[in-house]
Structure 1
Amino acid sequence: MHNTSSPRIALAQLRPVVGEPDANLATVEAALAEHAEVDLVVWPELFLPGYTTARIETLADSLDGERVSRLCSAARDHDTALVIGIAERRDDGAIANSALAIDRDGRIAGCYRKIQLFGDEAQAFAPGDTLEIVELAGVRVGLMICFDIEFPEIGRALAVGGAELLVSVSANMRPFGPDHRLCVQARALENRRPHVYVNQVGQGETFLFTGDSCHADTAGRVRAACPPHAESLILVDVPLGVETEKRPDYLALRRPVPPVHGGRA
């Protein structure tokens, strides 16, 4: 299809096997083969290793490793871009909670390292220190991971930086499902950018993940959603155009934020 004005995106709300990256890789390869008509497939946070902070050292992948090479080959073979959560072994040996982006020609477009680590993640992962906008299927995509979306300045920086689409991969658990639905819609509305959010589902090693993956349009309205607490893969066409006749274009209208008087240093 490869429609850059309204890309077709698969939200892969599927349950990984914790500690079995080869099995999860096979799931990715099978889904890409079955849905080769889409422009982009998005998978949850830490989908490749399964969500864990206890044994991540043994499950991490370097970007030049075999499993990442297989992901690149699958993207190229099916002419389909993908975003997937991995435990990335950095060049310095540290492990990052990362969103790997591979374009449809099999090229690594970028690898965003989660900045806002949550809970025990801070002991298992090194935080990222830069935001990432990548080009996938001809679309400039701003990447976020889970807790990142609860910090409005991250989505705003990506939108100001030129992202046409916000994509968030997540492993959000009870009782925070409603929080993330609100944040998905808010980040879309305040930035006038469509937002695709893909969350883990089912009982994990520690947490019960809530699912509820969805697409919110540039007015913050949820246009399509996976069910809570059930595996699902849905296809959505995501218009990138911003309707501004009835609604304000916040990015165009924003003024520099003035200093805060009387605040604490």
Structure 2
Amino acid sequence: MSEIPQIGMIQDHFLLGDKESNVNKIDHWISHYKNRYPHLSIVMAPELSLNGYSLIHNYRNEAETAEGPGFEAIAAIAAKHNLYIIYGFAEKENSSMEHIFNSVNLISPSGKRVDTYRKIQLTKEEKRLFNSGSTLSVVETEVGIIGIMICWDLAFPEISLELAKNHASLFLAPSAWEMPYNHSFHQFAAARSLDHTVFTAASNHIGENTPLHFFGESAIYRPDGSLHSQGPEDYPAFVQAEIDYEYLNYCESHFYSMNVERLTFLKTSR
């Protein structure tokens, strides 16, 4: 990479059931900030940002396949601005609607679908709405090797360990994290960075979708677990930071060598 890649996170209130408005919101934020940050390489919207997030919403009525109309609209935005976009959506496996997943799509700067990840660790309430995924997502891109999680996945170090074992250096976690659990959101994200000496970015909603009120504070953590950049509480924002892999390499060679040593231990202890 000739330039240090930059990540941007969209923190906003995404409306329930209004896909057109939510797609326009993603396009608006990127159009406004792409010129300000010329090395912006990837933009992340929150969990279920295409649909809006609620625990009492019927997603079966609007779920779509991984390359459905929502994908086509956001793929066009990615191609227009020549960057990666990751966004959340309710996914149906096929036309039967038998299985509905809480998923994210990663789209390339050419508008191609790079991967679709289905949330593995659903909350108790989400299990009434969605089926659990079963496949991890680690993809090699021009931005780095990306490991994808969704929200509550962050609370499970077993998932991040598997991503790290597959050489992920940037964890992306579109989220829908509600009040009053601000502290846990940050603790989990920081811990995953510190555990594996990686960058972790977690985007969040704001506003209220009954019965939840989201607090924002989208955050990016450095490989040493320190806070790199954070959005305000419960207010729209575009949260940006550089993903400097030279700093990651520095951390690994100066004290923060746990990930390398852990992976070596796992290989030799079999």
| TM-score normalized by the length of structure 2 | 0.90
Distance of 2:102 and 2:140 partners within structure 1: 20
Deviations 1:9-43 (A, max 9, x none): 11111110112111101111222222333100011
Q: Which moved more, 1:48-57 or 1:120-129?
A: 48-57
SS at match of 1:130: coil
- Superposition pairs of residues 75-154 of structure 1, within 5 angstroms: 75-91=78-94, 93=97, 94-154=99-159
TM-fit CA distance, 1:160:
1.1
Q: Please identify which structure carries the higher helix content.
A: 2
The answer for the alignment partner of 1:67 in structure 2 is: 70
Q: Following TM superposition, where does structure 1 have runs of at least 4 consecutive aligned residues deviating by more than 4 angstroms? A: none
The residue type paired with residue 89 of structure 1 is K
The answer for the alignment partner of 2:258 in structure 1 is: 250
Contact 2:41 2:84 (8 Å CA) reproduced: yes
Q: Which moved more, 1:50-59 or 1:154-163?
A: 50-59
Distance of 1:29 and 1:129 partners within structure 2: 31
Contact 2:154 2:188 (8 Å CA) reproduced: yes
The answer for the alignment partner of 1:51 in structure 2 is: 53
Contact 2:218 2:239 (8 Å CA) reproduced: no
The residue type paired with residue 30 of structure 1 is H
Distance of 1:183 and 1:96 partners within structure 2: 23
2:208 corresponds to 1:210: no
Gaps of 5+ in 2: none
Q: What is the CA RMSD across the aligned residues, in angstroms?
A: 1.8
Contact 1:104 1:136 (8 Å CA) reproduced: no
| TM-score normalized by the length of structure 1 | 0.91
TM-fit CA distance, 1:63:
1.9
Gaps of 5+ in 1: 260-265
**Corresponding residue pairs, total:** 257
The residue type paired with residue 7 of structure 1 is P
Distance of 2:28 and 2:171 partners within structure 1: 25
SS at match of 1:256: helix
SS at match of 1:158: helix
TM-fit CA distance, 1:103:
1.0
SS at match of 1:22: helix
The answer for the alignment partner of 2:29 in structure 1 is: 31
Identity %: 25
The residue type paired with residue 211 of structure 1 is G
The answer for the alignment partner of 1:14 in structure 2 is: 12
Change in Cα spacing, 1:239 to 1:144, as seen in structure 2 (3 Å) is same
Distance of 2:3 and 2:180 partners within structure 1: 36
2:243 corresponds to 1:235: no
Distance of 1:236 and 1:85 partners within structure 2: 21
The residue type paired with residue 182 of structure 1 is Q
- Superposition pairs of residues 141-180 of structure 1, within 5 angstroms: 141-180=146-185
SS at match of 1:32: helix
Distance of 1:82 and 1:67 partners within structure 2: 13
SS at match of 1:142: strand
